[in-house]
Amino acid sequence: MLVHPVPANATYDFASDVRTGLSRGDQKELPSKYLYDNVGSALFEVISHLPEYGLTRADERLLRRHADDIVDRIPGPVAVTELGSGSGKKTRWLLEALCRRQHTSYYPVEISRSALAMCERELRDIDSISILGFETEYLDGLLRVAAYRKPGQHLLVLFLGSTIGNFDRPAGVQFLGEVRRILDPGDSLLLGTDLEKSTAQLLAAYNDELGVTAAFNLNLLSRINRELEGNFEVSQFAHVARINQQARSIEMHLRSRRRQQVTIPAAEIEVELEENETIWTESSHKYRLPEIGDIARHAGFQCMAQWIDDEWPFAENLLVAQ
């Protein structure tokens, strides 16, 4: 796979986002996209196998069972791009179904270099596929992919695993609207959405008993130490998973176990944390089935079909750009 490399200012963005997020007076926060360096991406792969975290298995079951039905609804010829592909494992079912119909160009867009490498290893043996990865942010990658479009070719955008849930609801609609503006009418978006479920099931999924999710969350502090010369004492922070009823989301935070001061020279910042103060690192919003059609409409799509898992509430939604 050819990989188009990361923009040269990536370290600067990380430093500047860390400075902005940790300077906040009310709720300190760090953008969830920074959870995924090579350690974070490897830990996320492990999370996807944990018994408590049924999301990835539900997504994969739907793709495996309905790949032919999904592909039959996509007009050809089509090129496929995947925003935040991760390892790309479950995408195999769709790509194999498509490649039985036509030679397929697949463009994974990933901020994590190691995830992109995993994705290539995972999918390169499929017959009749060519893979070109873009190591960049979602919309920048999608713009570049759109520039590769041949006359008459449709685009199928995959946004799986309920990654949309990492945006708050208005930002999610805005993001999908930006995706829509890059597409042509008739292009397709396959959107994975995790549906509402019991508090107990959610808390277990984001606070597994082996502590893998805790390690995934804490790794963000280690990453700041590695890349920005920070001096976080990682053992002085605890992983917290917390339901936000109003937002219909589950949040991950890092709770300071004591009052402490942290210095991050490459971000030119000193941070004071009170005992029990938290740094908010991720939200995962959960959806109700009927709201997905409304979200799609607001963003300029029409929801043409939905497939729902019967073991773990999760929906695959096929949206078509209007």
Ligand X SMILES: C[S@@+](CC[C@H](N)C(=O)[O-])C[C@H]1O[C@@H](n2cnc3c(N)ncnc32)[C@H](O)[C@@H]1O
CB of 89 to ligand X, least distance (A): 8
Q: Could you say whether residue 56 binds ligand X (CB under 6 A)? A: yes
Distance from C-alpha of 35 to C-alpha of 224, rounded to nearest angstrom: 10
Listed in sequence order, the DSSP H helices in the chain are: 10-22, 38-47, 55-72, 91-99, 113-123, 138-147, 169-182, 199-205, 212-228, 289-299
297 belongs to the binding site for ligand X (CB under 6 A):
no
- With tokens 């007009």, the residue in question is 75
Least distance from C-beta 235 to ligand X, angstroms?
Answer: 26
Q: Which of 62, 63, 95, 115 binds ligand X (CB under 6 A)?
A: 115
85 touching ligand X, by CB under 6 A? yes
Per-position DSSP letters for 177-238, written without gaps between them: HHHHHHSPTT-EEEEEEEBP--HHHHHHHTS-TT-HHHHHHHHHHHHHHHHH-----GGGEE
Residue selected from 94, 142, 160, 215 as contacting ligand X according to rule CB under 6 A: 160
Candidates 14, 28, 36, 273; binder of ligand X (CB under 6 A) is 36
Between vectors from CA 107 to CA 101 and to CA 113, what angle results, nearest 5°?
A: 140
Is position 111 an interface residue for ligand X (rule: CB under 6 A)?
yes
Our finding on whether 133 is near ligand X (CB under 6 A) is: no
The CB-of-79 to ligand X minimum distance in angstroms stands at 18
- Residue 251 or 256 having the CB closest to ligand X: 251
Return the number of the residue (44 or 301) whose C-beta is nearest ligand X.
44
State phi, psi for 312 to the nearest 5 degrees.
Answer: -130, 120
- Which residues contribute to the site for ligand X (CB under 6 A)? 33, 36, 41, 44, 48, 56, 59, 84-86, 109-112, 115, 137-138, 160-161, 163
